[in-house]
Every structure is written in C-alpha cells, then in structure tokens.
Structure 1
C-alpha cells in the first residue's frame, strides 16, 4: 500500500493534506511532517496543509489558507482521522482522489486508498515508515523539519513514551529521528510548558475530581469554571492526562462544557473505552477516546457506564 500511495503522489501536481478537528501534536506532526517530506522530494509540486489553526501548536507549524479552486484535480490526503465527520475542512471531498492514513480502528473506511495501522503508536510513526519505504523505492530523503514534526507527533500520542502503545518500533523510530538537526528541548517546551492559569486549573482538577471504590473517576468543567480560570475549552486538552497520576485510578472521564454541547474526554489505564465512546457519538483508541454529551444528565450516564466498566474489569 505504501508504494501505491507513493505512485499516486507522483501523479499529482497539487496535494492537499488534512487532519482532524481540534488537532493534537500527532495531527500536526503527521500532517505537516508529510507535507515537508513530499516537498523535499518533489519540490516542483504544490503541497498544502489545511485546517483551523490551534494556537497552542504554533510552535510546530501554521496551516495554509487556500482557495477552493485549488481542490480541482488535486490529490487529498487525510492523516490521523478515523471518520469523515472529524476531518477538518470539509472541502476534502472536492479533490480528485482521496487517501486515508490513520491508526485508529477503521470503522469508517473512506477514501480511494486506505492505509490503516492500528498497531502504530501514532500516524507520525507511520509517516516515518512511509519515508523508509520511499527511501528504498525512490531514494527519498527526510528533511530536518519533517523529523522534528514527526518526533513531536510520536511524543504527543505516546505521552512521552509512557503509554502502552509505545512499541519497539516506536522507540526505534524515535532513535532515528533524534539524529536529525532539531532542538528537542524546544519541542518539549512547546508541548509541555503551561501558562500559570492552566496550572491553576490543573489544581482544580486534582481538588475536585471524584473517584469510586473501583477507580472510576470523573470531573465536570463548566463554562463558569473555564471563565473563572481564563481557560478555553481547547486548552483543557493539555490537562486531560493529569488524573493518570492518581494512585488507584482505573479510568476517568472529564467533561468540558463548550457552547451547546459537552465534550467527553475518556482515558483508561486498562479497560477498553472506545466502545463506550462510540455509544456517545465518539470513538478513538482503546485507552484514549472522546465523545460528546447533549446534557449533564447524559454526562451522568457516561459516568455510570464508566463505573460499570471499571467494576467488571
């Protein structure tokens, strides 16, 4: 499949790369890392990376702002996005051909070409494997800018290599990437340094979360609390993993009120939670998923389901 994707890339002069809404480091790492990889090996091609920018990821890259007509006859590649509803910039459907590159369960098999590897720690890890195939097949090179982005994406999706998704292949890929010329400290600072108001909200997390006897934990962050701490709903994504430091925790859910909906962020130290996420219009990885609740009453049902999951684990 990787060589088929390479052959397809060579056929197009315009390539537009998308990723999921509310991006994280792997979304940016895979999207922009692929862009830099293609640009370095096919400098004559026009390559764009699109989507709404997240200011917390400015240290990694800035998306391109392109006109609708560029999609005419273009190759569109979507990275790190399980289903079409979560693709950022729905103009993805306006291209001539569509490729999906992802590591989530392939419940929505969209695209003309699909490369899905659920064993990969991140799509950034997959893009490095894609480069290795290109090197063997077409003598590709990997620029330092791409190596930096892919490293950031791997670090982000593995929780600094703490998650069980980190495999031997993950560490081997990271070992190759750190040999390129980029500042790892600058990458880590960009990913993990927090403004004081975010750290204060993190303190709220630790003070007010609730956990039952089976280790199922929950926390509700209302719009009033966000306003009190001066934090946006998207910024809270940096804090979701915080409760993983709590001894005895099995799995946890954090609710973030945003507009007319409530974001549901699920994390686990053991029980598979993506099936629970699907029940509430979401999905994701076995131990890290997201969903949405229409009301606080529905949020209580999510908590009850999570408690049952931990009880039977």
Structure 2
C-alpha cells in the first residue's frame, strides 16, 4: 500500500491534502507533515493543504486557500479522517484520484486506495513510516519542517506519550524526529500553555463535574459558561484530559454547547467507549472518541450508556 501511495504521488503534478474538521495536532501534523515531505522531495510539484483553520493551532501552521479549478486532474490525499462526513472541505471528491491514510477504525473505507493502521499511535506516525519507505524506495529526505509537524502530531495524539497507543515504535519514531533542528520548547509552549480563561474554566470543571461510584464522570459546559470565561468551544479541546487526573475515574464525557449542536468528547482509561460515540453520530478510537447531540435531553442517554460501560 505504501508503494502505491508513493507511485501516485510521483504520478501527479498537483496534490491536495485534506484532514478532518475541528483539527487537532495530529490532523495538522499528518497533513502538513506530508505536505512538507512532498515539497522537499518533489519541488516541481504543486502541493496544497486545505481546510478551515483553527486559531488555537496558530503556533503549528496554517492551511491554504485552494481554488476549485486546482482540483481538476489532481491527486487528493485525506489524512487522519475515519469518515467522509468529517473530511474538512467537501471538495475532496473533485480530484482525479483519492487516497485515505488513517489510524482510526476503518468503518468507512472510502478512496481509490486506502491505508489504515489502527495500531499506529497517530496518523503522523504513519506519515513517518511512509517517509521511511520512501527513503528506501525513492531516496526521500526529511527536513526540520516536516519533523516538527510529525513530532507535534505524535505528541498530541499520545497525550505526551501517556496513552496506551504509544508503543516502542512510537518512541523510536520520536527519537528520529527530535534529531532535527526545530524548537521543541516553543512547540511545547504552543501546545500546552493555557489562557487565563481556560485555566479558570478548568477550575470550574474540577468543582462541578459529576462522578458515580463506578468511575463514570461527566461535565456540561453550556454556552453561558463558555462566555463567562471567554473561551470558545474549540478551545475546550485543551482541557479534554483534565478529568483523567481524578482518582478513581474510569471514563468521562465533556459536553460543550455550540450554536447549533452539543459536542461531546469521550475518554476512558482502558474501557472501550467508541461504541457509545457511534450511537450518537460520532466515533473514534476505543479509548478516545467524539460524538454530537442536538438537545440536552440526549445527554442523559449518553451518560447512562457511559455509566453502564463503567459498571460492567
């Protein structure tokens, strides 16, 4: 599969890279890391990275504006996106050939070819694996720009290497990436420094979350609470792991109200919770998933399912 991907990259002169909506470090890391690798090794090709920018990721990079006409005859590669409905910029079907590279469960096997590895810690780790293969097969080289993106994606998706998804292979990959000359201190500052409002909201979460005797916990963040602390819904992603520090917790859900929906982030310490997410218009990894509800009344059903998983 990696050989087919490299052959497709070599075949097309125009390549457009997509990733998922509501991007995180791995979405940017895999998309922009691959962008940097292709630019480094094929400077004559036109390579684009599209999608709506999230200001919380300003420290990492920015996508580009891509005109409709550019899709004609182009290769389109989607990274870190399990389902077609979550692909940012729905023009991904407008190209000549479509490739999916992802590490989530392959519930939606879209694309002319797809490479899915659920054992990978992150899609960024997969992109590094693709580079290693390209190095052997086509003489690919890596630069500090690509290394920085891929390292950020791996760190972000492994929770600074704390999650079970971080394997020996993950640490070996990271050890290769840190040999490149990028500013790790500045990168970590961008990833983990919190605004005054986020720190206050974190305090609110610790004071107001609910947890039962089975270790099932949740916190609801309605719009008025977000406005009180001057925090946007997307910025709350920085706090998703906060409740994991609570003694006795097994799984938790964070409900974040937006203008037209309620975003739900679900996490666990070893319990499979992506089955719950799939029941509420979502999905993801077994221990880290997301869902969407449209009414606070639905939250009761989701909480009940979360409690049942913890109890069992």
Under a length normalisation based on structure 2, what TM-score does the superposition of the two structures give? 0.99
Answer yes or no: is 1:303 the counterpart of 2:303. Answer: yes
CA distance in structure 2 between the partners assigned to 1:162 and 1:176 by the alignment: 19
Q: How far does residue 270 in structure 1 lie from its aligned partner after superposition? A: 1.7
Q: How does 1:124-143 map to 2 (within 5 A)?
A: 124-143=124-143
CA distance in structure 1 between the partners assigned to 2:243 and 2:189 by the alignment: 21
Task: Give the match for residue 202 of structure 1.
Answer: 202
Spell out, residue by residue over 1:249-282, the C-alpha distance to the aligned partner (whole angstroms, 9 max, x if none): 0000010010121111100002100011001110
Answer yes or no: is 1:239 the counterpart of 2:239. Answer: yes
Q: How far does residue 43 in structure 1 lie from its aligned partner after superposition? A: 0.2
Spell out, residue by residue over 1:190-247, the C-alpha distance to the aligned partner (whole angstroms, 9 max, x if none): 1000111110000001000000000000100001101111100000011011000000
CA distance in structure 1 between the partners assigned to 2:242 and 2:53 by the alignment: 24
Task: Give the match for residue 170 of structure 1.
Answer: 170
CA distance in structure 2 between the partners assigned to 1:98 and 1:84 by the alignment: 12
Unpaired runs of 5+ residues, structure 1, are none
Task: Give the match for residue 6 of structure 1.
Answer: 6
CA distance in structure 1 between the partners assigned to 2:162 and 2:192 by the alignment: 15
Q: How does 1:16-95 map to 2 (within 5 A)?
A: 16-95=16-95
Task: Give the match for residue 114 of structure 1.
Answer: 114
Task: Give the match for residue 105 of structure 1.
Answer: 105
Q: How does 1:206-245 map to 2 (within 5 A)?
A: 206-245=206-245
Secondary structure of 2:224 counterpart: helix
Q: How far does residue 59 in structure 1 lie from its aligned partner after superposition? A: 1.0
CA distance in structure 2 between the partners assigned to 1:161 and 1:247 by the alignment: 20
Q: How does 1:150-189 map to 2 (within 5 A)?
A: 150-189=150-189
Under a length normalisation based on structure 1, what TM-score does the superposition of the two structures give? 0.99
Task: Give the match for residue 272 of structure 1.
Answer: 272
CA distance in structure 2 between the partners assigned to 1:105 and 1:98 by the alignment: 19
Secondary structure of 1:286 counterpart: coil
CA distance in structure 2 between the partners assigned to 1:271 and 1:3 by the alignment: 36
Q: How far does residue 294 in structure 1 lie from its aligned partner after superposition? A: 1.8
Secondary structure of 2:166 counterpart: coil
CA distance in structure 2 between the partners assigned to 1:11 and 1:144 by the alignment: 26
Q: How far does residue 66 in structure 1 lie from its aligned partner after superposition? A: 1.4
Q: How far does residue 125 in structure 1 lie from its aligned partner after superposition? A: 0.3
CA distance in structure 2 between the partners assigned to 1:107 and 1:66 by the alignment: 28
Unpaired runs of 5+ residues, structure 2, are none
Secondary structure of 2:238 counterpart: helix
CA distance in structure 1 between the partners assigned to 2:10 and 2:54 by the alignment: 30
CA distance in structure 2 between the partners assigned to 1:130 and 1:219 by the alignment: 39
Secondary structure of 1:101 counterpart: strand
